[in-house]
Structure 1
Amino acid sequence: MTNRSILILVALALVVLILVGLSLILAAAEGSVTRVTRSSLNNLILGLQTDQDLSQFSRMKRIDRIHKAQKLISQRQATSSGCAYFRIICDILIGLLVGGMTQVAGFPVWEQVVCGLVAAVLVAMISVTIGPRRNGAKQPLEILLRYVRIISIAVRLAPFKKRRMNGSVSMGSRRSDLSDDEELEKIQIEQGRAMVDQLVEAGAFDPEISEMLKNVLTLSTTLTREIMVPRTDMICMGKDTSPEAALKLFSRSGFSRIPVIGEDMDDLIGVVYLKDVVRAISLGRRKDEGSIESFVREPVLVPESKPVDDLFHYMQKSRHHLAVVVDEYGGIAGLVTIEDAIEQIVGELEDEHDRVQHDQPKQVGPHTWSLPARTSIADLEELFEIDIDEDDVDTVYGLLTKLLGSVPVEGSSAVTRGIRLTAADATGRRKKIAAIIVEPADDSDITLEEEPMGQEVAGNEQN
């Protein structure tokens, strides 16, 4: 091998080393540019301006570097694409130069191709999967500021069309409706979910803890309307309800907070607390004196589009355990409690009073049956050999609801076709009716038993 060949090999090797270093730098820049926010750069400038240990020259030099980084962050997508583009170019050139080095050394053609391909793939794997990307994720701000000049040149030379649209940068025809920090937050949430999934698959946590971690990450994307109890399932009382009737409804429903309404569901007066009624009666006020309207407290209203994490923090800070949910037109959409938000993380909350639902009909007397709430009307007809002929309901719970004209609470009763249906076994924190007691009706039962006005409200806490 001649001296000229050796010089060519050395020169090509130096160029290859430079390209390898540049590829690693660009890979680290890709990992850092998606994790640096404008606020972090602004805070860094404020810190430099108040640092008395720096000379004016050093301070201005560092601030100028930060200003260049701010420009790159304002074009986050273009910066990331430019780094990726030139990293790929470097990997391709590395392969070509390594192939050229083998040619100068006198290797056969097929060995030249193999060596060049292996070198390009190896550098690409190192730059993408091993060190640089990881460093960019761990120290994004330091990496971005250290290589800001190289990154700026790459972005300036990248053959991408950048245009500014309503203050945001669009690549080609792509347009993001999110702000810079919102888009970064979305990326970080997705990365967090992926990390939790990896930890769960690796068995790093118990299944219960893994499920809670997943639920925490979904709080910001879950809206209040997804966890609320709809208005059709709310228990309410009229403003003219007497304290004695209110106490009866409190006792039968098992709730300690119940909304008070006027002419209809959208005419919300407020919320009445069991403690207020009991306190007044214990101090000597007659149970049948006046109406419940004098005990009403101001309701807490939240929009149905409010994220659950914001709802939880709001109710926690305001020390309210119950809020009424309103829709975009101002009507009552439902009701939500702080326990509903907690259940999104830890799962269903139950206490010692909750009973397990029966899976099958059970005979509890000579002619009396306890039927699960979801028992079909066809099974009811077969048990009692009657023809109910109800086309718009399918279960015994739906039948009782139709007969009462409201959602039944425990003890609600109605008569039809010679049988009496009574709501029983209100299970769970939301006091859902689990079973219906069905028995032959007495001859004196010619009318439906009237209940206080109401539909079921979830999460009104028990005392």
Structure 2
Amino acid sequence: MASAEGAVARVTRASLNNLTLELQTDSELSQFNRMKKIDAIHRVQRYIVDRSATAGSCAFFRIVCNVMDGVLVSSIVTLLGGPLWAEILSGFLFALVVGVLSVLLRPRMSGSFKPLDAMMRHHRIVGVAVALTPFARIGSDAVNKRVAREAELSDDEELEKLQREQGRAVIDRLAESREVDPEVSEMLRNVLTLSETLTREIMVPRTDMICIEKGETLSAMLKLCSRSGFSRVPVIGDSVDDLIGVAYLKDAVRATAFNAQAISRPVESIVRDPLLVPESKPVDDLFHQMQKQRQHVAIVVDEYGGIAGLVTIEDTLEQIVGELEDEHDRTQHAEPVKVGDHKWKLPARTPIADLEEMFEIDMDEDDVDTVYGLLTKALGRVPIVGASAVTRGLKLTAVDSAGRRKKVSTILVEPAGLNDGSIPIEPSGDDEESDERAHESRKDGHKDKHKENNDR
């Protein structure tokens, strides 16, 4: 009874179905034995329909047997004419021996380790216990209704909640027993928490989204993808909330690989309709929707219809297996590195206080706390590798990215005007205009100097 009680909670329908298939395909088994074992499997399947009632029946008979052990031995001593003290002592000693054997043999643990074998071996006596204890099913239903009434949940919600709690308890026991790899048990825990995690908790917020305007060319998009490391970029109109769609790097490459003139086509020509999801959507539902619709990226919208952020299918998988990185992802440097006279490579999260100490200046910035925030504020947009800006007499240049989200990880800081050419900077559209203005200024300066020399 103890072995069956431990096994009924752990035997699964899938294991019973697999055993049925094995028996049906076993050529060495006679037809009579095959049908006999299949009939036993069908009995076990009926027992696990209501696991709580079946376990209650087994527990009832186990308790009755434990009580009757001492009673029967005391009765035998009475029939042999023993005194009262001998009856009591014999019953107590026999019950004590049974208890010690139960602790040493651990039949309930054997049923937990091999639940299918235990249920197949004891299915007849389990059937007798279930048939003789119809009140076990009534008690199980009463407990479930009482718990559901106290929690104010429907039957389906309560059943799902109980199953989730039981699953967590099983995983915790497996992790504590050290019979399962800790990483595997951690992934199982993460799977159970997917339904409680909302999309807003794993999305990339709109302030960190890399977007491209609909009027940009495919050439500009290829450069943006190369510099940012992303292969899917939202296409916007006047603002982030004016979403046109999502442009894919594969589509841009396919359009320009065999047609050089297509490089000047607008990015709007390859845009795809976006998948829109609410920020309150559970992560497990989000994963199944993206899997079903074959979408690897979705745009997250808030309750007012505005763009709240962006989420990818990798973000949902990371909730289960942890951080995902490929061979192009780099790790973020933890310490500042001096690369020249008055030139430092700083981690993006370096506090501004450290920057002030290095260059002996007073930044007086209240709304940003890190070097990355300072660069973002100076640019007015999310920085990518190669972006640079001058603020407070310092030139900040994003020179490296790290992680799957390709966030800027290293920033080169130097006094404004100091650039020995050791760090190549790929200009963006705004940088190209500033370079052209600087080039025109240098040309005008050369002309003035040449005219001055001729006058002399």
Task: Tell me the amino acid that sits aligned with residue 401 of structure 1.
Answer: T
Deviation digits for residues 154-187 of structure 1, max 9, x if unmatched?
24279948549xxx64469666654658855763
Which letter maps to 1:425? D
* Cα distance, 1:159–1:429 mapped onto 2, change above 3 Å: closer
Name the stretch that deviates more: 376-385 or 357-366. Answer: 357-366
Q: Which amino acid aligns with 1:430?
A: R
Amino acid at match of 1:221: T
Cα distance, 1:296 vs. partner?
Answer: 0.3
Q: In structure 1, the residue corresponding to 2:362 is in which secondary structure?
A: coil
* Cα pair 1:419 1:438 within 8 Å, conserved: yes
Which of 323, 327, 334 is 2:298 aligned to?
A: 323
What's the CA shift for 1:211? 1.5
Which sits farther off after the overlay, 154-163 or 221-230? 154-163
Partner in structure 1 of residue 166 of structure 2: 187
Offset from partner CA, 1:81-112 (integer Å, 9 cap, x none)? 45424432332232343355456545657843
1:246 aligns with 2:225: no
Distance of aligned partners of 1:102 and 1:251 in 2 relative to their CA distance in 1, 3 Å threshold: same
Shift of 1:317: 5.9
Q: Secondary structure at the match of 1:393?
A: coil
**Contact 1:370–1:437 under 8 Å retained in 2:** yes
Residue 410 of structure 1 deviates from its aligned partner by 1.1
The verdict on how the C-alpha distance between 1:340 and 1:158 changes in structure 2, with shifts beyond 3 A counting, is closer
> Relative to 1, partners in 2 of residues 1:142 and 1:128: Cα closer, same or farther, differing over 3 Å?
closer
Aligned amino acid, residue 147 of structure 1: V
Q: Which residue of 80, 90, 112 maps to 2:90? A: 112
Matches within 5 A, 1:44-123: 76-101=51-76, 105-106=82-83, 108=86, 111-112=89-90, 114-122=92-100
Give the alignment partner of residue 232 of structure 1, picking from 182, 207, 218.
Answer: 207
Q: Quote the residue 2:378 is aligned against.
A: 403
- 1:392-427 CA-to-partner distances (Å, cap 9, x unmatched) read 221111222222232211122222211121122112
Which of these residues, 218, 221, 224, is aligned with residue 193 of structure 2? 221
In 1, Cα distance between the equivalents of 2:136 and 2:343? Answer: 85
Distance 1:407 1:73 in 2: 56
- Residue of structure 2 aligned with 1:148, choices 108, 120, 127: 127
Cα pair distance change 1:400/1:295, threshold 3 Å:
same
CA 284–178 in structure 1, closer or farther in 2 if over 3 Å, else same:
same
Structure 2 distance, partners of 1:268, 1:331, is: 9
- How far, CA to CA, are the matches of 1:152 and 1:119 in structure 2? 30
Distance 1:113 1:401, change over 3 A: farther
Q: Which has the higher contact order (CA 8 A, sep 6+)?
A: 1
1:393 maps to which residue?
Answer: 368
- Alignment check: 8 A CA contact 2:218 2:264 kept: yes
- SS of equivalent residue, structure 1 residue 280: helix
Distance 2:158 2:140 in 1: 20
Partners of 2:277 and 2:402 in 1: CA distance: 27
Is this contact kept in 2: 1:136–1:143, CA < 8 A? no
Match of 2:261 in 1: 285
SS at match of 2:62: helix
Q: 419-428 vs 153-162, which deviates more? A: 153-162
Match of 1:18 in 2: none
Match of 1:147, SS state, is: helix
Q: Give the superposition deviation at 1:146.
A: 6.0
Mark the CA change 1:231 to 1:96 in structure 2 (over 3 Å): closer, same or farther. Answer: farther
Q: TM-score, normalised by structure 2?
A: 0.69
Of residues 336, 341, 350 in structure 2, which corresponds to 1:361? 336
Letter aligned with residue 193 of structure 2: T
Larger helix share, 1 or 2: 2
Does structure 2 conserve the Cα–Cα contact (< 8 Å) formed by 1:355 and 1:428? yes
Distance, in Å, in 1 between the alignment partners of 2:321 and 2:147 is: 42
Q: Secondary structure at the match of 2:133?
A: helix
CA distance in structure 1 between the partners assigned to 2:335 and 2:160 by the alignment = 54
Determine helix, strand or coil for the equivalent of 2:385: coil
Q: What code does the residue aligned with 1:441 have? A: A
Measure how far apart 1:253 and its partner are.
0.8
Deviation at 1:247, TM superposition (A): 3.0
In structure 1, how many angstroms separate the alpha carbons of the residues matched to 2:222 and 2:140?
Answer: 70
What is the distance in 1 between the residues matched to 2:387 and 2:170?
51
Deviation at 1:325, TM superposition (A): 3.8
Cα distance, 1:259 vs. partner? 1.2
Distance in 2 (alpha carbons) for counterparts of 1:276 and 1:69: 52
Q: TM-score with structure 1 length normalisation?
A: 0.68
1:276 is aligned, of 230, 237, 251, to 251
Counterparts of 2:250 and 2:141, CA distance in 1:
64
Aligned pairs, number: 396
Distance in 2 of aligned mates of 1:98 and 1:232: 79
Any conservation in 1 of the 2:278–2:301 contact (CA below 8 Å)? yes
Residue 211 (structure 1) aligned with residue 183 (structure 2): yes
Cα separation, 2, equivalents of 1:184 and 1:356: 40
Percent identity among equivalent residues? Answer: 42
Structure 2 distance, partners of 1:313, 1:434, is: 32
Pick closer, same or farther for the CA change 1:159–1:96 going to 2, 3 Å: farther
2:394 aligns with 419
Q: In 2, distance between residues paired with 1:257 and 1:407?
A: 16
Q: Describe the SS at the equivalent of 1:394.
A: coil
Where do 5+ consecutive residues of structure 2 fail to align? 21-30, 419-426, 431-456
CA gap of 1:267–1:37, structure 2 versus 1, over 3 A, is: farther
Aligned to 2:340, what secondary structure does the other structure show?
A: coil
Say whether residues 1:31 and 2:7 are aligned partners.
Answer: yes
* Equivalence for 1:370: 345
* 2:3–2:109 CA contact under 8 A, matched in 1: no
Q: Secondary structure at the match of 1:115?
A: helix
C-alpha separation between the residues in 1 aligned to 2:137 and 2:185?
A: 40
Q: Distance in 1 between matches of 2:278 and 2:337?
A: 43
8 Å Cα contact 1:83/1:155 also seen in 2: no
Q: Give the superposition deviation at 1:271.
A: 0.9
Inter-partner Cα distance in structure 1 for 2:341 and 2:53:
79
- Supply the RMSD in Å over aligned alpha carbons: 4.5
Cα distance in 2 for residues equivalent to 1:217 and 1:328: 30
Change (3 A) 1:135 1:427: closer
CA–CA separation in structure 2 for the residues paired with 1:162 and 1:342: 38
Distance 1:105 1:398, change over 3 A: farther
